Amino acid sequence: MGRAPCCDKANVKRGPWSPEEDAKLKEYMEKHGTGGNWIALPQKAGLNRCGKSCRLRWLNYLRPNIKHGEFSELEDSIICALFTNIGSRWSVIAAQLPGRTDNDIKNYWNTKLKKKLMEKAITGGNYYANPNKGSPFIDGTSSPPSMAPEQQHNLWIPTQQVPFNSSSSSSLPATTLQSCNPYLQEAASCSPLDLYSSLFDHKQAPDRNLQGFSSSPYYENDAIIGGNTVPLYYNYSTVAVPVAAEDLGFMYNPTTPYIIDQSWFDQ
């Protein structure tokens, strides 16, 4: 026997909400709130709707301070950074963007942002480190800058080196993510392989020559790219950046967190 349905689907209205229904729900919510029970709410509010439908309508459209319309560059960056870290946990991502709903962000990611990043990664090649494009470092040199921790705080989103773990089932420790990302306030984990395949599907970017992830314990935080084992980076100001081995050699130092200026990626 399966789960009992939350409502009688045959006898409740479905599909788009009318202005009258919106007004009823809004008025009821403003006066009474959910009363802790979404299932009972439609009847009390005089709506012929499923409780889940009411909840969705309220959360995604009617509740106060919902922000609709274009996403800003900063919002783009935050979404990318968080998606990179925690994957498709839209509710967690939405919690970091006041006024945005998880549904909105999910739609935005699936229809626009993912495409935008893909285009940059594949056609522009601007999202991976390449010394020929100039310095990736904020001081304009070709080597990692030495930067005091207090200086690092001046950057709007810090870029830091965080180890990948090669196992798709494993997670990064929440403390690591929290300490690296000021926008992440709750415990989170991610699957690097999920992240990697979703953002940079190497079938669509064969020129990156990604061959897989190392299984060696010593190199468990690394990826095998172009036949070389190289470390992978999280970049909190844009996206995870798989870099070609030859590009990476000059910037890899396993003990130094690197700060990369956002503008470099936009060249």
Partner DNA sequence: AACGTTGCCAACCGCAGCCTG
Partner DNA sequence: CCAGGCTGCGGTTGGCAACGT
Q: What is the nearest approach in angstroms of DNA to the Cβ of residue 259?
A: 29
Mapped onto helix, strand or coil, the DSSP state of residue 111 is helix
Burial of 196 (0-12, 13-18, 19+ CB in 10 A): buried
Q: What is the nearest approach in angstroms of DNA to the Cβ of residue 53?
A: 3
Q: What is the nearest approach in angstroms of DNA to the Cβ of residue 243?
A: 26
| Cross-strand pairs, 46 | none
Closest CA to 43 of 91, 8, 93, 78: 8
Q: What is the nearest approach in angstroms of DNA to the Cβ of residue 35?
A: 8
Q: What is the nearest approach in angstroms of DNA to the Cβ of residue 198?
A: 9
**Looking at beta carbons only, is 103 or 228 nearer to DNA?**
103
**Cα 180 to chain centroid, rounded:** 15
**Looking at beta carbons only, is 76 or 261 nearer to DNA?**
76
**Looking at beta carbons only, is 110 or 151 nearer to DNA?**
110
**Looking at beta carbons only, is 56 or 155 nearer to DNA?**
56
**Looking at beta carbons only, is 12 or 157 nearer to DNA?**
12
**Looking at beta carbons only, is 16 or 206 nearer to DNA?**
16
Closest CA to 108 of 151, 72, 157: 72
**Looking at beta carbons only, is 174 or 245 nearer to DNA?**
174
* Two tokens, residue 74: 């900063």
CA-to-CA dists, residue 107 to 102, 114, 119, 249, angstroms: 9, 10, 18, 38
**Looking at beta carbons only, is 31 or 68 nearer to DNA?**
68
Extended beta strands in the chain, E state: 210-213, 222-225, 228-231
Those residues with Cβ within 8 angstroms of residue 20's Cβ, 6 or more apart along the chain or in another chain:
none
Q: What is the nearest approach in angstroms of DNA to the Cβ of residue 3?
A: 7
Those residues with Cβ within 8 angstroms of residue 181's Cβ, 6 or more apart along the chain or in another chain:
81, 82, 85, 157, 158, 236
Q: What is the nearest approach in angstroms of DNA to the Cβ of residue 232?
A: 21
Q: What is the nearest approach in angstroms of DNA to the Cβ of residue 179?
A: 21
Find out whether 100 and 60 touch, Cβ atoms under 8 Å.
no
Q: Rounded to the nearest 5 degrees, what angle is found at the Cα of 88, between the Cα atoms of 114 and 160?
A: 80
- Residue ranges that bind DNA, judged by CB under 7 A: 3-4, 6, 9, 14-17, 34, 36-40, 50-53, 55-57, 60-61, 68, 88-92, 102-104, 106-108, 110-112, 115
